[in-house]
Amino acid sequence: MKILLTGGGTGGHLIPLLGVVSELKKINNKTPQGSATMEPANDEPEFLLITPASGFNQSISEAGIQIKTIKAGKLRRYFSWENLRDIFKIPIGIVQSLYYVYKFKPDIVFSKGGFASVPPVIASWILRVPIVTHESDIVPGLANRIIARFASKILISFSAAEKYFDKSKVVLTGNPIRSDIAKGSIENALKFFKLSPDLPTVLIFGGSQGAQKINEMVLEILPDLTEKCQVIHQCGDKNYEEILSDTRCPIRHRVSGNLERYKLYPFIKEEMKDAYALADIVISRAGANSLAEIVALQKPNILIPLSTSANNHQPENAKFFAEKNASLIVDETVDNSQDLADAILKLLSDKNLQTQMKQNLAKLSPSQNASQKIAEEIIENFKTK
Q: Which fold has domain 186-364?
A: Rossmann fold (3.40.50)
**pLDDT reported for residue 34:** 45
Residue 219 has pLDDT above 50, yes or no: yes
- Please state, rounded to an integer, the average pLDDT across all residues of the chain: 89
231 forms beta bridges with 202, 262
What is the average per-residue pLDDT within 97-120?
95
CA torsion through residues 16, 19, 23, 24, sign: positive
- Residue 84: pLDDT band by 50, 70, 90 thresholds? low
pLDDT of residue 76 exceeding 60, the answer is no
Mean pLDDT of 88-104: 94
Could you tell me the pTM of the whole model? 0.87
> Residue 59 — very low, low, confident or very high, per pLDDT cuts 50/70/90?
confident
pLDDT above 70: percentage of residues in the chain: 88
**Mean predicted confidence (pLDDT) in 279-285:** 97
pLDDT at 385 over 70: no
Query: Which CATH entry fits the domain spanning 2-174+368-383: 3.40.50.720, 3.30.470.30, 2.40.10.10, 3.40.50.2000?
Result: 3.40.50.2000
pLDDT number for residue 142 = 87
Q: How far apart are CA 153 and CA 151, in angstroms?
A: 5
Q: How confident is the model at residue 33 (pLDDT cuts 50, 70, 90)?
A: very low
The domain ranges of the chain are: 2-174+368-383, 186-364
Would the CATH topology of 2-174+368-383 be identical to that of 186-364? yes
